[in-house]
Each structure stands twice: as C-alpha cells, then as structure tokens.
Homo-oligomer: A and B are copies of this chain.
Amino acid sequence: MRNIKLIITYDGTEFHGWQRQPGLRTVQQVLEDAIEQLTTVRPNANATSRTDAGVHAQGQVINFFTDAVYPTHVFLKALNATLPHDLRVLSAEEMTESFHSTLDAQRKRYCYKIDNAAIASPFLRRYAWHVYHPLDINAMNRAGQALIGTHDFRSFETNWPNRASSVRTISRLETTREGDAVSIEVEADGFLYNMVRAIAGTLVVVGTRRKPESFVAAALKAQSRSEAGPTAPPQGLTLIRIWFE
C-alpha cells in the first residue's frame, strides 16, 4: 500500500469540523468521498489536527493509504477537480509506510484573528472574532510572555483532563495589528482541546483592560480553567502550518 500525504486548506465556515459525523458535512467526509471516487476504495484519512466546526486551515496535513497507482500530481489535480471550492489540496507527496500525520507532527502554528473595528466588517465575519473595544496589543504581548515555554496548560483546556498530559511547550506567542485586524500567532509542539481559543479569550480580557496584565500568569499558575478568560469563538481560528521531523 502507498502512503500519501496531502496538505489541504479549507474555509471552515460551512463544515462541521474535520471529523466524520453521520449526516453532517465534515472535511474528512468530503475529502474521503473525493478519494473514494478517484480510487474506488474508501480510505481512512488521518489529520494532524481535528479542527472544530467553523475553524479554518491554510495548511492541514493528512495521510491515507491506497493501492491506486496514480502519480502524486494526478492525485492533486483529480482531487481538486472533484472537491468543492471551500476545500483544496495544495500538495500531494508519497511518504514511507511509517509516516503518520497525527503522531509525527513536531510543531504547529495557529493564528487567531480579531476584527477590532468599532463596526464589524462584513468581509471578516466568517474569519475573525469581532471585539469592538480597542485592544492594547502591547499589554497582550507583555502578558503573553508568561505562557511561552514548557508549562502545564490545563487552565487553557476545555474538559480537562482529556489527554494523558496537559504539559505543552509554546515556542512563540505574538500579537500584531494591521489597521483594525489583530492577529495572535501561537506555535507549540502540541495543543490541548480549545487551547488557542482559550489563550485568545484570556489575552483579550487583558487587551480590553478588564484585568491587569498579571491575569495571564495567574491563570496559568492556578491550573484551573475557571481562572482564565473565556473560549474565543471558532471562526477566528486558522491552522496555519505544521512541521514534521
């Protein structure tokens, strides 16, 4: 069997997330349908990140096994010819048998986008969280320093404990502004459930001056979800890139 790696991008607005769910339009379902149509066999596609409903991807990575003999550039073209326009395959590559998109990922980058205009832009409503109160991004960057490094992030995890360990390493956390668009970029070796959205919600509490900058460090230290800020809504979140060994 050949092991095919795809890099895919999708606008998550009209998908019920990555994972197959009976009767719902999900990325996995739509992608596996397209692969089945091409290869005549139903594959099982693994994704690095099981993105939630409304969450987007610029560089999600998946792999699947197939007997089909097409060259990878044919997979790329044929899948894009079949897939709907809110889901595209950006590259296709043949890997060794051992490659697994979920288990082999070393580092991921997410971006959480905020529309910080007084009046929400119609063009950002699918791709950003509208926060009309002006955000102090310098305060957000100073406060976010507390999260960089290796920590137990259970304060930023929905439904803790849902994994063996809630210790992760954040290598980068940066908030930037371009006009009214504020972006929070986070890179880590792995993410807990809703971790980026919880971090974004917590940084916004500081950015709007509802809490002092020390709130973020205190939330981390408390090891309790209720001590951090709210979970930001899904549409602001985009999986940007995944690194492998």
Contacts and interface: CB of A to CB of B under 8 A. Distances in A.
Interface of A: 9-11, 56, 80, 85-90, 119-123, 125, 127
B120 A85 contact: yes
Say how many copies of this protein the assembly contains.
2
A180 to B, nearest CB: 12
14 contacts: A9-B122, A9-B123, A11-B122, A11-B125, A80-B119, A85-B120, A85-B122, A86-B122, A86-B125, A88-B119, A88-B120, A88-B121, A88-B122, A89-B119
A10 B89 CA distance: 30
B123 A11 contact: yes
Give the one of A11, A86, A122 with max B CB within 10 A.
A122
A90 B85 CA distance: 31
Contacts of A120: 85, 88
Contacts of A87: 122
A123 B80 contact: no
A127 B123 CA distance: 9
A86 B121 CA distance: 8
A203 to B, nearest CB: 24
Contacts of A85: 120, 122, 125
Nearest to A90: B119
A56 B123 contact: yes
Give the one of A87, A89, A120, A127 with max B CB within 10 A.
A120
Nearest to A86: B122
A7 to B, nearest CB: 10
4 closest A-B pairs by CB: A11-B122, A86-B122, A85-B125, A88-B119
A122 B119 CA distance: 25
Contacts of A11: 122-123, 125
A27 to B, nearest CB: 11
Nearest to A76: B119
A111 to B, nearest CB: 12
A85 to B, nearest CB: 5
Contacts of A89: 119
A122 B123 CA distance: 14
Contacts of A119: 80, 88-90
Nearest to A84: B122
